[in-house]
Amino acid sequence: MIVLILNSGSSSIKFQLFNMANERVIVKGLVEKIGEPDSYLIHDWGNGNSQLDIDASDHSNALEYVRKVLVDGMANEKTDMGLIDAIGHRVVHGGEDFFDSALITNEVEELIERYAVLAPLHNPAHLIGIRAARDYFPGLPHVAVFDTSFHQSMPARAFRYAIPNDLYTEHKIRRYGFHGTSHRYVSEHAGALLGTPFTGITAHLGNGCSVTAIQDDKSIDTSMGLTPLEGLAMGTRSGDIDPAVVFHLVETLGYSLGEAKDLLLKQSGLKGLSGVSNDLRDVEAAAERGDKQSILALEVYAYRIRKYIGAYLAILSDPQGVVVTGGVGEHGTKMRELIFEPLKPLGLELDIDKNCGYSGGEEVISRPESRLKIIVIPTNEELMIARDTVRLVINSHP
């Protein structure tokens, strides 16, 4: 099957085309500034980026340009493969209705729209892209893959907030968790690497960060909550914070609710603590120059991760180790050391040489005698979406 993966934002569409016979990426690209006069499309067929200036007035119009790039590119590859057999869509929030990915129907669209209240920055944009794609490719099966579905295996003691019951029963205010596609991908690969269903911790570390406790391949707790704001300190998000801070910002310091929301979502985390950047590399460079706020930002970032790892080791039965992934997890050599060196008493012994020498791929970077393994596994959410798309399409036509 040839599977097109779409990740639609409010003014953008990221895409990848997979040949699932060998799980090869044929082309990947991005449409930016949809609805603006200076919209453009970047695409890469494996030989570097090419950019086209386009006139993408809306998402449907943007898909016309995407399809043209695909048709022209496939012709240049001189292949007799069909253009597209199915389309997979990333969707951030599936609420409690989706324990798995789903073939998209009108009813599924309605449910995605219902959960837009819990993901107002993401679900409406995903829905625009889904509807445009279903209109533009009406004869193809479309599949929604939800960031939240992997975490629907969490028990109530993990996902319920200690607030009045009716806020959950009537309004579904609870912890949902995110980055589920990434956590599922790396946990499956960790299980394959270790030869057994994975029990341990997966840490998706980047500009957005989350940690998940996994027991026998199932999520039993995760650091993000009702929204992706809860949990770890991130690039620009505060992570865990006393809710009364919001009251203080609004009632005492005169912030509007919108300003308080912007502060916690976009002005906090590494960016807020360092005053330098939300990019770990910039903060590390400033710390090396002796900038005290940047040093503190790195310490807070690593400390919060260590706290969650310690907490999740306490709830797992016979954990095998910790997997790190994401931009920081895969490329943050110094941050991995900052996270794991203090965790020796918990059985996580980092091999400094392996950590410094890591250059990609799946690799155990803990010492041979370490009771628990430390593993780096590059994530691939798009491939996970493509695999789910193939699985659901095949299962719908036995």
Of the listed 85, 100, 147, 318, which one is catalytic?
147
Which secondary-structure segment (H or E) carries 31? strand 24-32
381-395 and 180-194 are packed helices; what angle lies between their axes, rounded to 10 degrees?
90
What is the DSSP code (8-state) at residue 366? B
Contacts of residue 324, defined as CB under 8 A and 6 or more positions apart, other chains included, come to 202, 203, 205, 330, 336, 339, 374, 375, 376, 377
Q: For 305-321, give one letter per residue: b (16+ CB within 10 A) or e.
A: bbebbeebbeebeebbb
How many other CB atoms are found less than 10 A from the CB of residue 295? 18
Contacts of residue 150, defined as CB under 8 A and 6 or more positions apart, other chains included, come to 177, 180, 181, 183, 184, 219
Is 388 among the catalytic positions?
Answer: no
- Tokens 């930016």 locate to 32
How many other CB atoms are found less than 10 A from the CB of residue 246? 16
- Residues labelled catalytic: 147
